[in-house]
Structure 1
Amino acid sequence: MIDRELLELVPHFVAMIVLISFVLGGFRLLLGTPAVWFDPIVSLVIVFLYPFSVRRLGAAPTRWE
């Protein structure tokens, strides 16, 4: 059975993926095709900053607190 705390993380992971897609798409519209290393670095920055910012906003799931 799937743990309730694990199910609480699903919307945050979906939001992270959507945020990464929009940010990378925006950069591609503004800058054209960036270098190969650009996408993974921007993705990692978002992945590490998202939980921190959600905690600061007070909307973090119990596993992130």
Structure 2
Amino acid sequence: MGELNIYGVYVPILLIQAVIAYGILKVLMKWLDRLVANDWIIMPNLFYLCIYLLLLGVVHWVCLFL
């Protein structure tokens, strides 16, 4: 990993990946909220946390191998 220097401010690469994963999660939540409303998902907060961690792993993996 490393940092990205943006106008003298060092930004960790993992922070950028976390923001990308969060953006993807917000898009997915629009579709997943329908499942929550229909009671297909019991604990939505825990479910969203797991989906976020999965997305963060995927984004990290993609950034490593591109």
Report the TM-score, using the length of structure 2 for normalisation: 0.51
| Higher RCO (CA-CA < 8 Å; seq separation 6+) | 1
Point out 4+ residue stretches in structure 1 off by more than 4 angstroms.
none
List alignment gaps of at least 5 residues for structure 1.
61-65
Q: Distance in 2 between matches of 1:32 and 1:44?
A: 14
More helix by share: 1
Alignment of 1:11 onto 2:16 = yes
Max Rg structure: 2
Alignment of 1:24 onto 2:24 = no
- 1:37 is matched with 43
Q: Match of 1:37, as an amino acid?
A: M
Contact 2:21 2:52 in 1 (8 A): yes
Q: Distance in 2 between matches of 1:7 and 1:20?
A: 20
List alignment gaps of at least 5 residues for structure 2.
5-10
Please report how far the alpha carbon of residue 19 of structure 1 lies from its aligned counterpart in structure 2 after TM superposition: 1.6
Contact 1:16 1:50 in 2 (8 A): yes
Q: Match of 1:22, as an amino acid?
A: V
Count of aligned positions? 54
Cα RMSD over matched residues? 2.8
Secondary structure (helix, strand or coil) at the match of 2:12 reads helix
More strand by share: 2
